[in-house]
Amino acid sequence: MNNYYIEPHSFQIPVMGTGFSIDTPLKVAKYGISSVISLVDDNLIEQMRQFHSEKNNLPYSPIRKGSEDWRASRITSYLNLLDDLVKKEVLELLGSPFEEGSQITGYFELLPESNLKQEYLKMKALPDGEEKSLLQKHLRSMVVTGSIDVNIMTKLDNIPSYKGKTLDIKYSDAVSALRGYAKSKLNSSMIFSAGINPRLFDAISKYEDFLPDIFGKLKKRIVIKVSDFRSAAIQGRALARKGLWVSEFRIESGLNCGGHAFASRGLLLGPILEEFRKGKEKLMETIAGVFLKSGGDARVVADGLRVTVQGGIGTAEEDHFLREHYDLGGTGWGTPFLLVPEVVNINEEHLKKLAAAKKSDVFLSQASPLGVLFWNIKNSASELLRKRRIASGNPGAPCVNKYAAFNTEFSEIPQCLASKAYQKNKLAALMKEKLPLKVFEKRKQNILAKACICHDLAGAATRTLGIDRKAHTALTPGPNIINFSKISSLKEMVDHIYGRINLITSEKRTHMFLRELELYVENFKAKFEDISLGIVVNEGKKQLIEFGSNLLDGISYYKELAERFIEDKKDSFIFSLESLKLEVLDISRKVDFLEG
């Protein structure tokens, strides 16, 4: 890819599950669109390497589990394959003629309004001749390949076993994934999500691709996904002390996003972005100071530090406002692309379910064995199977991949909370506790809610591509999915992002800031109920008071923002804020009566 900061598009496609976007770069990179794939599931990665090798008539030699450093080797081999295939596609695009329906025409038609787009339109208007040919040659030289970025959930770092023997710590899941990426040919970004992992962060500087070359450029860049300013400062400084530069902080809404939802302490996206807007320069100076003191290259600092945002963006107006008002380097659009089969892996059955999804169908669940809230949809194959197992008296799933097997409550060998073995033991233990009926039922449901998302999220790819026709697909769209119901093409979705067409089908779509606030108010209520019943013991009255206070501060911020910037439907926006404020105040009054 060309210079990291000269990107043709203002958006990227974030990681979606494990299977949805596992080969998305093959579908969008040639058009200059960057996307992110998950490195969690090396079994899926190996299956996809075989699939795409055979599809492209390339030799395939399996990397079997149990072979030396198999997880890292599988990842390196797959990423190298993607790199080769994308480069081949780009060469084909560059060789195509500037005519209707060609690949290179598609590249320029997708671009947002820009000087480059104007040059393309000028070329189209010219008569055939030398001037047109020269401009076409120039346009070809300006084609930029989208980045093949990868994501590691830092806390998914089990030390695997093979044939009953625990492997060396250097083969832990996250560290092996990092090694696999580091050894690949890719010139792209590694996105770290879910917080600090000292073992993982210590390993990064071992790989020269994360360090500047003789020209002061980074072949592999570090991107940290964060939920607030404080987290960015802590992680940025921690890596800078190791001589590592964070090229981008990717802010994600705590609740208004797909997949895992890392709820903050009531901190809302708008105020978080405002803090970054006001503090970005100081943040940059602080991190740069630590980086340079640790021997970092000043030329790397000169390339700057980007701040981007993702989570719940649904209209071109929202996208434009975020980038302009908060001085952001870009945005991420994930959930809407689940309705673009040209971009993601999804079978027709589940595509229709997503297109038909209503507000009551999409919910924050306890399905993730990681103990983190997880967006779910009621009628996915995975969710229906989970319910059938419970109804048959045989809850829990076979634990195939063991990526989320952390619990040692009932076994020396770590178990996954979604596994049959764990749920059987946990339910038996629960029965022995003398709990009030309401508390018992809530804890029971939380145990049974866990699903095998490791295997089922891969089903989006393996079932769709015929690799595993028995896979039970899990769906994990963000709440934004209910505003879209049209199955769309890549061009249509990109045109929607840039405001050239409108794909919103919901007549009463809630502004992304309001929708996130609604979700946090619901979360506030749920936290209060769990704490008041004694279901949650690691949080208390103090944390609830802070949560409510942050929500009220956020509401005040949005009221001021609405007065200054939101002209369209300003009155209804403020009315909704006032209504939600009353709900927060009502819960806060109840919190006052809690003990502790």
Q: Determine if residue 470 is left, alpha or beta; phi over 0 gives left, psi from -120 to 50 gives alpha, anything else beta.
A: alpha
In a domain? residue 238: no
How many angstroms from the chain centroid is the CA of residue 204? 21
Among 463, 493, 483, CA closest to 18: 463
Angle between helices 103-110 and 115-125 (to 10 degrees): 130
Q: What is the pLDDT of residue 5?
A: 45
Neighbours of 367 (CB within 10 A): 26
Q: Determine if residue 393 is left, alpha or beta; phi over 0 gives left, psi from -120 to 50 gives alpha, anything else beta.
A: left
Q: Is the pLDDT of residue 565 over 80?
A: no
Confidence of residue 162 (pLDDT cuts 50, 70, 90): confident
Q: Residue type for 488, please?
A: S
DSSP state of 171: G
In a domain? residue 140: yes
Confidence of residue 401 (pLDDT cuts 50, 70, 90): confident
Could you tell me the CA-to-CA distances from 291 to 91, 190, 285, 306, 332 in Å, in that order?
38, 19, 10, 16, 28
Among 218, 261, 292, CA closest to 5: 218
Q: What is the pLDDT of residue 548?
A: 97
Q: Is the pLDDT of residue 417 over 70?
A: yes
Could you report the per-residue pLDDT of 172-185, keeping only the tens digit for each? Answer: 999 999 999 999 99
- Mean pLDDT is highest, among 5-14, 115-124, 194-203, 432-441, for 115-124
Burial class (CB in 10 A: 0-12, 13-18, 19+), 363: middle
In a domain? residue 417: no
Could you report the per-residue pLDDT of 537-555, keeping only the tens digit for each? Answer: 677 889 999 999 999 999 9
In a domain? residue 464: no
In a domain? residue 550: yes
Q: What is the pLDDT of residue 4?
A: 43
Q: What is the pLDDT of residue 448?
A: 96
Residue 109 CA neighbour count, 13 Å, CB half: 15
Domain C-terminal end among 193, 227, 247: 193
Q: Report the percent of the chain where pLDDT is more than 70.
A: 98
Domain C-terminal end among 136, 158, 193: 193
Q: Is the pLDDT of residue 591 over 70?
A: yes
Domain C-terminal end among 133, 166, 193: 193
Q: Please, are residues 8 and 147 in contact by the beta-carbon 8 Å criterion?
A: no
Q: What pairs with residue 189 in β-bridges?
A: 221
Mean pLDDT of 282-292: 97
Mean pLDDT of 8-23: 97
Q: What is the pLDDT of residue 3?
A: 38
Q: Please, are residues 83 and 184 in contact by the beta-carbon 8 Å criterion?
A: yes
Q: Is the pLDDT of residue 6 over 80?
A: no
Q: Determine if residue 344 is left, alpha or beta; phi over 0 gives left, psi from -120 to 50 gives alpha, anything else beta.
A: beta
User: Structural domain tally of the chain?
Assistant: 2
Q: Please, are residues 375 and 478 in contact by the beta-carbon 8 Å criterion?
A: yes
Q: State the residue range of the domain holding 575.
A: 510-596
Q: What is the pLDDT of residue 596?
A: 63
Q: What is the pLDDT of residue 535?
A: 83
Q: What pairs with residue 330 in β-bridges?
A: 308
Mean pLDDT of 341-350: 96
pTM more than 0.75: yes
Q: What is the DSSP string of 535-584?
A: S--S--HHHHHHHHHHHHHHHHHHHHHHHHT--TTHHHHHHHHHHHHHHH
Q: Please, are residues 424 and 434 in contact by the beta-carbon 8 Å criterion?
A: no
Mean pLDDT of 232-248: 97
Among 314, 332, 372, 343, CA closest to 512: 314
C-alpha to C-alpha distance for 369 and 470, rounded to whole angstroms: 22
Q: Please, are residues 362 and 354 in contact by the beta-carbon 8 Å criterion?
A: no
Tokens 């802010």 found at: 251
CA-atom Rg of the chain in angstroms: 24
Q: Is the pLDDT of residue 595 over 80?
A: no
Q: Please, are residues 407 and 413 in contact by the beta-carbon 8 Å criterion?
A: no
Which of residues 262 and 518 earns the better pLDDT score?
518
In a domain? residue 297: no
Mean pLDDT of 300-313: 96
Q: What is the pLDDT of residue 59?
A: 97
Could you report the per-residue pLDDT of 521-539, keeping only the tens digit for each? Answer: 999 999 999 998 888 767 7
Could you report the per-residue pLDDT of 89-128, keeping only the tens digit for each? Answer: 999 999 999 999 999 999 999 999 999 999 999 999 999 9
Neighbours of 207 (CB within 10 A): 16
Could you tell me the CA-to-CA distances from 326 to 203, 320, 334, 512, 523 in Å, in that order?
33, 10, 20, 15, 26
Q: What is the pLDDT of residue 467?
A: 95
In a domain? residue 95: yes
Structure tokens at 334: 């994930």
Helix boundaries (H) for 96-148? 103-110, 115-125, 130-141
Q: Is the pLDDT of residue 316 over 80?
A: yes
Q: What is the pLDDT of residue 413?
A: 86
Mean pLDDT of 300-304: 94
- Classify strands 246-252 and 220-226 as parallel, antiparallel or unpaired: parallel
Neighbours of 221 (CB within 10 A): 23
C-alpha to C-alpha distance for 414 and 422, rounded to whole angstroms: 10
In a domain? residue 569: yes
Q: Which of 155-159, 202-206, 251-255 has the lowest mean pLDDT?
A: 155-159
Mean residue pLDDT across the chain = 94
Structure tokens at 49: 């390497």
* Cβ contacts of 206 within 8 Å, gap of 6 or more: 182
Could you report the per-residue pLDDT of 424-440, keeping only the tens digit for each? Answer: 999 999 999 989 999 99
Q: Residue type for 374, please?
A: F
Collapsed DSSP state (helix, strand, coil) of residue 94: helix
Mean pLDDT of 320-328: 96
